Amino acid sequence: MAQILPTQTQPARQAASDSDSSNPPHIEAHGVSLDFPMGRHATLRVLSDIDLAIPRGSIVSLIGPSGCGKSTLLKVLAGLLPPSSGRVAVAGMAPAEAARQRRIGLVFQDATLLPWQNALANAGFLLRITDRSLPVRAVRERAQAMLRLVGLEGAEQRLPSQLSGGMRQRVAIARALALDPDVLLMDEPFGALDAITRETMGTFLLDLWRRTGKTILLVTHSINEAVFLSSEVHVMAASPGRLLAALSVPLAYPRKEASYADPAFGQVATELRLLLKQGHAA
Amino acid sequence: MTTGVAPHRPGPAARSELRRGASQLLPPAFLLVAVLLVWEGVVRLLKVSDFALPAPSAIAAVLIRDQASLAENAWITAQEVLLGFAVSGLVGAALALLIARFDRLGRAVYPLVVLFQTVPKIALAPLCILWFGYGLAPKVVLTVVIAFFPVALDMLSGLRAVDPNLVALMRSVGSRGGEILWRVQVPTALPYLMSGLKIAVTFSVIGAIVGEFSGAQAGLGYIIQFASTQLETPLVFAALVEVSVLGIVFYYLVELAERLLVPWSPK
Amino acid sequence: MKEIRIMERRTMLALSAGALAEGLLPVRTSAGAEPNKVTVQLDWVVRGDHAMFFVARHKGYFERNGINLVAIRRGTGSANALRLVANGNAQFGFGDLPTLIISRTHGVADVAIVAVNQRSPLAMISVAARHKLVTPQDLKGLTVGADPAAGSAFLFLKAFLHANGMSLADIKLRTVSPPYENYLVLGRVDAIPGYIDAEVPVLEAKTGGPGSLSILQGADYGLHSYGSGVFASETLIGDNPDLVQRFVRAYLLAFRDVVASPQEAVDIVIAANPEYKSQRAVLLAQLQADIKGTFFSADTKSQGLGTITATRWSETIHMLQSEGQLPKSAAPKGGFDNRFVAASYPMGR
């Protein structure tokens, strides 16, 4: 089993639980709105009054129709976009600061690997540019460890063009994890993969989460994926982007393929579907 | 059953490699031979004068007769091409880097570059001679003004082709513009740069020849001009053949460089 | 003029050569002085009347006169050659003297120091088998190819027509780009203006040899002007007249040799320009056309090859003025300096 070289100590993984006063939310948003300027006088309200509280060590999904602003919300939470109003906190601080402290890991739908570097170099890329004092050997060892963690041991020398879509995504995850963030924000990470690979990657992500105990927020448009992976699913509606509801998923971890057949799965899925339709119509 | 030793045949892998190489070279070779045969036939049948349109056989005769002189002049033109190409590559790349890195400068410079591109460079040739004399300089200058643009344009596309998510990611962990430029944008732009360089090298050949037309003491362009004034059309064609060969050789050298330097380039 | 050419040519030749051989001062360079580095700018690609430069270099005349001839550069027209010499890109040049006069009015400060063509070598040329030209009037109605944008040839065409009572309206002008000869050989045009010491031998090689062309030389039909010659910038003449003197002296020594043995001169030119190996006959014919038709005059007989006189210079100016190439009001000042030629023949008569 891979040895993770932590730069911060990790708490033991908790069973997914709602936040309470003794366990402050790891990611939170209060009344967050975002307006985009359109021309000289008009603005477009892209996000409207979002309230969000994600407990530490949980794995949570954000689902909604295309264009509802879920990627935008993720960017706000990651500190890439400042909100027009409201407050955001990640690990108790402003998200931009959290990012600078390498507490936030980001994974996108496109793995955005550097095509001229092999898997090992890609995995260590962010580490290399954020900590220039780190000797080459240490970076390489950490990158190797991360690749082992995502199950790509042996593929270190391969170029991205020689890796499958799922493998590339795993390298992207390894790259994010190399910084040892508290939080992993993922924007439709498996959206470009075929159905079976998608399910495999879902299982892989759960396993990773179990082993590392990170807080994970996943944006997806797949109902099945949202229900299977998360302890809580937040549903968004479009125009303007707003949260409709948060559904909790009463399925125990670890979840396996059998979980798909659990009646609770179907119930939550159906409810989600209704909410989404509502969001579409609204 | 025949007795005797069977001839050694190449193994199946080598044979398929040969077959692939052959299938790439044979069609254009056949076409070329066919064109030459038709050309020779037409010239002979219609008794076209040597001076108006020489037959391939006449051109070949000149290529052999003047091979030393042609080779010497080809080498001179080749040097002009190489120098002009190198400088235009550097200028083009530097311009692209400036425009990509410094947004305001880029917005000021780019339209001017495009405007300059529409000026027919051939008109500048005599001016280059006047300003820089008859040496190597005017040809290099002319080549650079012709060939820098595709390099700049293609490389700029490449510099801008970086995934904005990646750039955002790097910025979020504290990377600055310069680091993003050199670590990510420049390597991303390399395949694009090679495309631009392939175009630039053919333009460089044109630039060198045009420069020589406007006043040269040696080189294939000078030979073409000299042969024209002496009404030696077979020599004109012979020099043109050598110019084409020069162009092809340089083009494939750049392709070779591309394969070596940018092995991840999408094919 | 025609009479002189035919009857007295040999006499004149012998006289001039003799005069030169005796008259030219021996070489004198200041002992131990560093030789001057010099570049010569020609007006076009190498042809017969450029031979003097190559011969002078080959036989060491320049060296003996303290001159290191670094390069003899081919050119792209007299106008460019004049500009380059005036700018200092080259110290001496060879080109069309009427063009020099016109350029002077545009601020190109060059001065003619040797008049090589005493008569203009420009002529109207046609392929004899198609259109025989016996008198200038035979040009009427013919298609003539010339490039209005390209200086001297077009000017000559207009001057020739004008001097013989015709105008551009009498011919059909077709714009062509140089080299014009292609159009003539292919029959696209009936006649072209050209040089007897440049295009004519080249054309004759393609149209069937000497005699295959009809030639009307302008100098025989009312056009009196100098042709080409050697020139230098006013600056150089002012700053270093000694260098100019030595250069002219070496040049004239070679001029004597070229006229005496044109075959040897051609061989020297080919040795310096190997791409002309196959053009030997053409080079020789170009040179012989000049020896026969432009190098000699009454002035050279009395004062030596290359002499420039005020009278002939005025004639040249007058011709340009009557063609509207120069303002009639302002008579251009200066433009030639015969000192250097004169000083090379101290026994001048």
pLDDT in tens, B100-113: 888 888 889 889 98
Interface test with B, best of C275, C279, C280 (most B CBs within 10 A): C275
Q: Would you call B230 and C279 a contact, using CB atoms and an 8 Å cutoff?
A: yes
Residue B44 within a domain: no
Tell me A221's DSSP state: S
Q: If contacts are CB pairs under 8 Å, which of residues 307-326 in chain C contact chain B? A: none
Residue at B36 is within a domain = no
**pLDDT at position C4, please?**
43
Q: What mean pLDDT value characterizes chain C?
A: 85
How confident is the model over A193-219, as pLDDT tens digits?
888 888 888 999 999 899 888 999 999
C-chain residues within 8 Å CB-CB of B217? 71, 73-74
pLDDT tens-place string over residues A222-266: 899 999 999 999 999 888 888 988 999 988 888 888 888 888 899
The answer to whether residue B157 is domain-embedded is: yes
CB contacts, 8 Å: B190 with chain A: 116
Q: Judge whether residue B266 has pLDDT over 70.
A: no
| Cβ contact C61:C20 at 8 Å | no
Give B-chain residues touching A129 at CB under 8 angstroms: 170, 173, 175, 179, 183
pLDDT tens digits for range C137-169: 999 999 998 887 766 788 888 889 988 889 888
Considering only residues C271 and C8, tell me which one the structure prediction assigns the higher pLDDT: C271
Count, in order, helices (H) and strands (E) of chain A.
Answer: 9, 9
Q: Burial, B196: exposed, middle or buried (Cβ in 10 Å; 0-12, 13-18, 19+)?
A: buried
Say whether the peptide bond before residue A254 is cis (omega within 30 degrees of 0).
yes
Tell me how many domains chain B contains.
1
Confidence tier at B148 by pLDDT (50, 70, 90): very high
Smallest Cα distance from B204 to chain C, Å: 22
Q: Which of B40-49, B148-157, C21-30 bottoms out in mean pLDDT, i.e. has the lowest? A: C21-30
Which parts of chain A fold into alpha helices (H)? 70-78, 95-100, 119-123, 125-130, 136-149, 165-177, 195-212, 223-229, 263-281
Answer whether residue C232 shows pLDDT above 90: yes
Percent of chain C whose predicted confidence (pLDDT) is above 90: 51
What whole-number distance in Å separates Cα of residue B66 and Cα of residue B180?
Answer: 55
Interface A–B counts its CB contacts (< 8 A) at 48
Show which residues on chain B lie within 8 Å of chain C, measured between beta carbons: 51-52, 65-66, 69, 126, 129-130, 133-134, 214-217, 222-223, 225-226, 228-232
User: Residue C23: its pLDDT value, please?
Assistant: 43
Tell me whether residues B231 and C205 touch, CB distance under 8 A.
yes
Question: Is the per-residue pLDDT at A7 higher than 60?
Answer: no
pLDDT of residue C143: 92
What the block records as the tokens of C317 is: 């100016």
SS3 assignment, position C211: coil
pLDDT at C271 over 90: yes
Lowest mean pLDDT among A36-40, B87-91, C55-59: A36-40
Q: Is the pLDDT of residue C346 over 80?
A: no
Domain extent for B211: 59-261
Confidence of residue A9 (pLDDT cuts 50, 70, 90): very low
Q: Please give the Cα distance from A229 to C282 (Å, whole number).
A: 93
Ordered by where they begin, the domains of chain C are 34-119+226-343 (3.40.190.10), 122-220 (3.40.190.10)
The answer to the question of residue B11 being in a domain is: no
- Say if the Cβ atoms of B264 and A115 lie within 8 Å: yes
Q: How far is the C-alpha of C17 from the C-alpha of C304, rounded, in Å?
A: 9
Whether A221 has a pLDDT exceeding 80, the answer reads yes
B156 min Cα distance to partner chain A (Å): 18
Q: How far is B68 from chain A (nearest CA, A)?
A: 45
Interface predicted TM-score (ipTM) over 0.90: no
Nearest Cβ partner for B69 among C84, C274, C279: C274
pLDDT at B267: 52
| Residue-level pLDDT at C9 | 52
Task: Give mean pLDDT, residues A55-81.
Answer: 90
Q: What is the pLDDT of residues C255-264, one digit of tens each?
A: 999 999 999 9
Note the pTM of the prediction, 2 decimals.
Answer: 0.75
In the predicted model, is pLDDT for residue C5 greater than 60? no
Q: Which residues of chain A make contact with B183, given a CB cutoff of 8 A? A: 129
Give the ranges where chain C is alpha helix by DSSP (H).
2-7, 9-23, 51-58, 61-64, 78-87, 97-104, 151-163, 181-185, 199-207, 234-239, 241-260, 262-272, 280-293, 298-303, 310-322, 339-344
* Residue type at B21 in one-letter notation: G
Task: Decide which of B179 and C337 is more confident.
Answer: C337
Task: Select from A177, A259, A255, A189 the least CA-distant residue to A214.
Answer: A177
Q: What's the farthest any 2 CA atoms get from each other in chain B?
A: 84
Q: Which amino acid is at A196?
A: I
Q: Which residue has the higher pLDDT, B191 or C18?
A: B191
Whether residue C172 contacts residue C141, with contact meaning beta carbons closer than 8 Å, is answered with: yes
Instruction: Give the residue with greater pLDDT, C73 vs B177.
Output: C73
Cα–Cα distance measured from residue C339 to residue C344, given in angstroms and rounded to the nearest whole number:
9
Share of chain B above pLDDT 90, in %: 49
Segment B8-13 long-range contacts (CB within 8 Å, at least 24 positions apart): none
Q: Which residues of A touch B174 (CB under 8 A)?
A: 100, 130
- At C124 the pLDDT is 93
pLDDT over 50 at A22, yes or no: yes
Mean pLDDT of chain B: 87
C232 contacts chain B (CB < 8 A):
no
Confidence of residue A18 (pLDDT cuts 50, 70, 90): very low
**pLDDT > 70? residue C41:** yes
In this prediction, residue A8 carries a pLDDT of 37
In this prediction, residues C204-225 reach a mean pLDDT of: 88
Tokens 């003449």, residue? Answer: C237
Residues C323, C211: Cα–Cα separation, whole Å: 31
Instruction: Please state, in angstroms and rounded to a whole number, the distance separating the CA atoms of residues C213 and C208.
Output: 9
Which band of pLDDT confidence, cut at 50, 70 and 90, is reported for residue A281? low
Q: Is residue B238 part of a domain?
A: yes
Q: Which chains touch B (3 or more CB pairs under 8 A)?
A: A, C
Residue C108 in tokens: 């190109």
CATH of the domain at B223: 1.10.3720.10
Q: How far apart are CA C218 and CA C122, in angstroms?
A: 6
B70 to chain C, minimum CA–CA distance in Å?
Answer: 9
Minimal C-alpha gap between B171 and chain A (Å)? 8
Q: Which residue has the higher pLDDT, B16 or B62?
A: B62
A159 falls in which pLDDT band (50, 70, 90)? very high
What does the H/E/C string look like for B226-264?
HHHHCCCHHHHHHHHHHHHHHHHHHHHHHHHHHHHHCCC
C321 phi and psi, to 5 degrees?
A: -65, -40
User: What pLDDT is attached to residue C345?
Assistant: 83
Please answer whether residues B105 and B99 qualify as being in contact, where contact means their C-beta atoms are separated by less than 8 angstroms: yes
